[in-house]
Amino acid sequence: MKHIYVIGVCFSLFIIPSPILALAESIPTQSIQTQPERIVSANAIVSANAETTTADPKIKQIKVYAEGTLFKDDVHYKVSSYIEPTEKTASESESDDTEEDTDYEDDRATITLGLFNNVGQLILPVFQRDYYQDTNQEAFINNVEIKDLNQDGLDDLIIDIFERGDSYYEATNSFFFINQNETFKELKEHFDKGSYDFISPTIIRHTSSLSAYGLPYDEAEGGDNKHNIQWRDYYEFQEDKLVKINQKYRQYYEEVLEKAKNELKNVLRQVRHYRMDANNQSTNQIQLNDFYSQLTTQKIIIQRCESVLNPR
């Protein structure tokens, strides 16, 4: 008899910090940092071969995002969001009598994603996260893709979460879950959905903006201009890890390094020939900030390329 199953998840919001001014003469090593794990898998993993055949009436299945045969048991699963009521302790119930605690509970929301079977039974909680919702913050599941990321014959999951937060932050982030047969392991690396693409079944190319030091945020991040410099990294899914493999693309980084050195010489030449306008201090300051930003950015690119080409 063929069975059908489904999956569940949660998220939280974060706020992007403002750009930090760096010293032009002494640039520290900068690398693209991975954020700490933002989504914690369920503490108890339920076996996909659970003996019970009826759905828990307290768990409400919301939306099916994907479905397929995920494990080696040849069972068809559904990956779905759901609502699972939480049971309060006696002390928590008493605290609900205060107005402050009631407001606290009203602002709290949960995103959950899990595997379900053909009768709506939750088989495996995959993703769950609490967050606070208000007019400035929200989060929800945007998409779930089933894909064999490490080419081991087991389909993995890419879960896209939309997030909106304070300080005009808004993004859709992709989280990667590696199938370990009956369980999923969440990788610590996650990227903005629009910042990466697959260039092979197991390799992704990730781009990110370098901070334009010394410039206002709106100028530094404002579309296609000379300050919006992109840095590229390459990653490969290897077993249950996402490994940076920039050294396999030496030719690309050699070309970037040569271009950055030439650009640095060009900016230094402009600095040597620049003459201050005694009647317009504001223009002088803007131009000096621009030189400073360009010099700093090119030095960062040179340092990054050299760290790829000549690793310690």
- Say which residue the tokens 């300080």 belong to: 167
pLDDT truncated to tens, each residue of the chain (312 aa)? 444 444 444 333 333 333 333 333 344 333 333 444 433 333 333 334 444 445 777 898 999 999 999 999 888 999 999 987 766 544 555 555 554 554 545 566 788 999 998 888 999 999 988 777 676 788 899 999 999 999 999 999 999 999 888 777 899 999 999 999 989 999 999 999 999 999 999 999 999 988 644 444 445 454 445 667 889 999 999 999 999 999 999 999 999 999 999 999 999 999 999 999 888 999 999 999 999 989 999 999 999 999 999 988
Total number of domains constituting the chain: 1
Tokens for 210, please give them.
Answer: 């370098």
What does the alpha-carbon distance between residue 270 and residue 264 come to, in Å, rounded to a whole number? 10
Residue 163 lies in a domain: yes
What does the alpha-carbon distance between residue 46 and residue 116 come to, in Å, rounded to a whole number? 11
Q: Residue 176: which domain range?
A: 1-189
Residue 120 lies in a domain: yes
Tokens for 229, please give them.
Answer: 């410099």
Residue 168 lies in a domain: yes
- pTM for the complete prediction? 0.74
Residue 74 lies in a domain: yes
Nearest Cα to 237, choosing from 150, 146, 148, 145? 150
Residue 289 lies in a domain: no
Q: Which residues contact 218 (CB under 8 A, 6 or more apart)?
A: none
Residue 224 lies in a domain: no
